[in-house]
Structure 1
Amino acid sequence: MTRVLDKLPSVTPDMQARIRDAPRNAVTHRALMAEVPAMSALQSGGQGSLETLASSVSVVAWNVERCLFPEDTARHIQPLAPQVVLLSEVDHGMARTSQRHTTEAMATALDMAYVFGVEFHELDLGGATEQAFCTDDFNLFGWHGNAILSTVPFERVTLIRLDDHGHWFSSDEVPADPEQPRLGGRMAIAAVLPTETGPICVVSTHLESNADAAHRHAQFDRLLHAIDAFAPDMPVLIGGDLNTGNHLPPDYDWQRETLFDLARSHGYDWSATPDGITTRPSLITPHPDREMKLDWFCTRGMRSTENLLVSSIDENGRPLSDHDAVWCRVAVG
């Protein structure tokens, strides 16, 4: 069972030093993960404005690329009146986002409850474009992860780890990026929410970018089985950045991913996802290598009635993220 805390325990300076000096392999990574309590817990806070969702639910999924501007990001999606927001790449205690708890700030701005989980403990300040936003030369907590915002209370939540071998840590064994040293791995958060027709399960996830289709297939398979164990026979909506097409040269085509048919074989449907490319140049990623379709919804036991691709360009012409948001309305029951 996942522990749900008001505050995630920070990594001590001694532990930081051990992580930095540790051998870069999977065995060491697993041992270190077990010694960092925040890696197996979730943080909850905030308060929603409703007790129960109607049978029609408005949902946004958005990779907010660190969430440089939490209040502006919240304001940008407010016209959609979301009752559930599935976030990825949110910072908590990072110098590049002014050491803020960006999930908490968005939840406050939207009058929503939240649950936040750690994908990575970042050991550095980030790349050159990120360092331009740093307000300090250290990270207060170094947390980076996923979140769910909700207008109703969470009935149950769980953290689902999608790998544990240290894909961004174990550079002695896998092609980890030396410029982004970090402890952790891809993960998902699942939550059960009350609706007038019964409980539903919503899931925020982020699959691996630095890997091929087989790797993401394995992650998604692990996710689907974990959802079945957590919320059996319950309507489910999964949303997030699935990194579809990454590391699939020469065309980087999302249609070559096998996870779509995998989900269909488990009774899921992808029609809640709007058409169109979901990436764009941003303040942190000003010159992306290519345009891609990375962001998706898939549902089981729900029917999509509307969907929309929402540009991340705000009213001042500023990109809030290198991903556009995806929105859908689903009917439950």
Structure 2
Amino acid sequence: MIKLEKEQTARFAARLEQETQESVMRDIAQFSEADIVDTWASEPPACAEVHAMVFNMERGVHIDEAIEFLKDNPSLQPFDLILANELDFGTARSGEKNTAEEVAKALGLSYVFGLEFIELKDAALGFHGNAVFSRWPVKWAEVLRLPEQYNWYNDRQKRIGGRCAILAKLDVHGREVGVASIHLENRTDGEGRRVQMQAVLDEVQRVFAGLPVILGGDLNTNTFDGRDKDYIRHLADHPAELADNIVKIDSFEPLLTACGDAGYAWRTASGDGRLTRRKPVGEGNFLAMRLDWIIPRGFTAKDSRVISTVTADIDFAKEGGALARFAEPELSDHNVVWASLQLHK
């Protein structure tokens, strides 16, 4: 992906004072790029089962530790597909690294990166997005822009861009499989997320018609409107209410019903309902939510689990490694979702 000079970024940002995100993004070619990078690809697995993982890497700020976590955590083995969210490319907060490239190089994976945002308050390039990583050959890919539910230029984080999904077609021992790494909007409500997921379902039906498909990512299924700060504060003070909402999550998040209606098994491959996100709400407290999902069609989930990224739960770090020296309380504010998926015949 070609970098933007800071002067170019500043000109695009200035246009957002008068124009929509969509009109500005239309003139930034990087928002539609879906280059397949197979420079470090290793041999495909011998088994035709797909071992998929969803991991929101929280911008890749701890990317060296995250790579060791992926390599050495016995609960994640084996894996041959990562649907990843929140990876930086050229941002100061993550050491100006291309974090997707770092993961692919270290783990021997092909990958596709999709640009979600250009961070305007960052001191460097400021690219931030999602990725599909695969041990299976990637034959085709595209970035799907999702209907805007929130204008991030007006947020304190100040960004050009919007939510997206990366769609890719894999060759699993001669059989085509469609996958999508999805990041839905948190600054909206359940209906806003349903609209975005419906756009994904419609495009998947167009480009992967008749294929087995794995949808996954941070769907931000928090059961509330992420713009409602008063209600978020209320939930922080009444955690039992949020826990009850999560038990009935499809009542608050109609995107799950939409997936079910389209033939996807949203209940079976995401760790048996375990929580995946810790949202800080001050004073060391957090909201525990279920945001990260693996949602297959044309597969049977043989096993699925949620793996903690809390530092205190990491008991496999190798002596002298980055993970053994890691002193932060958590590797990411999201846990990992893993599933073993058997293709239907």
User: Same fold judged by TM-score > 0.5?
Assistant: yes
Structure holding more helix per residue? 2
The alignment's TM-score, normalised by the length of structure 1, stands at 0.85
Structure 1 equivalent of residue 342 of structure 2: 331
How many pairs are equivalent?
A: 304
Q: Which residue of 75, 78, 81 maps to 1:81?
A: 78
Q: Distance in 2 between matches of 1:158 and 1:306?
A: 29
Amino acid at match of 1:262: A
SS at match of 2:277: coil
SS at match of 1:202: strand
Structure 1 equivalent of residue 36 of structure 2: 44
Structure 2 equivalent of residue 181 of structure 1: 158
Q: Which runs of 5+ in 2 are unaligned?
A: 226-230, 236-240, 315-323
- 1:190, 1:202 within 8 Å by CA — same for their partners in 2? yes
Instruction: Report sequence identity in percent.
Output: 29
Q: Distance in 2 between matches of 1:149 and 1:49?
A: 12
Q: Are positions 1:155 and 2:139 aligned together?
A: yes
Q: Which residue of 89, 97, 100 maps to 2:97?
A: 100
- 2:147, 2:195 within 8 Å by CA — same for their partners in 1? no
- Give the direction of change, closer, same or farther, for the CA distance of 1:9–1:287 in structure 2 (3 Å limit): farther
Q: Distance in 2 between matches of 1:39 and 1:228?
A: 22
The alignment's TM-score, normalised by the length of structure 2, stands at 0.82
Q: Distance in 2 between matches of 1:109 and 1:207?
A: 28
Q: Are positions 1:320 and 2:331 aligned together?
A: yes
Amino acid at match of 1:34: R
Q: Which runs of 5+ in 1 are unaligned?
A: 1-7, 126-137, 172-176
How many Å apart are 1:287 and its aligned residue? 4.0
After TM superposition, list the pairs within 5 Å mapping 1:1-333 onto structure 2. Answer: 8-24=1-17, 27-45=19-37, 46-51=39-44, 54-78=47-71, 79=74, 80-125=77-122, 138-139=123-124, 141-164=125-148, 167-169=151-153, 171=154, 177=155, 179-196=156-173, 198-245=175-222, 247-248=224-225, 249=231, 251-252=241-242, 253-254=245-246, 255=249, 256-270=252-266, 271-274=268-271, 275-280=273-278, 287=284, 289-314=286-311, 315=314, 316=324, 318-333=329-344
- 2:150, 2:185 within 8 Å by CA — same for their partners in 1? no
- 1:11, 1:36 within 8 Å by CA — same for their partners in 2? no
Structure 1 equivalent of residue 238 of structure 2: none
SS at match of 2:217: strand
How many Å apart are 1:72 and its aligned residue? 2.0
Q: Pairwise CA RMSD of aligned residues?
A: 2.3
Q: Distance in 1 between matches of 2:114 and 2:192?
A: 22
Q: Which moved more, 1:77-86 or 1:56-65?
A: 77-86
How many Å apart are 1:197 and its aligned residue? 6.2
How many Å apart are 1:57 and its aligned residue? 1.2
SS at match of 1:273: coil
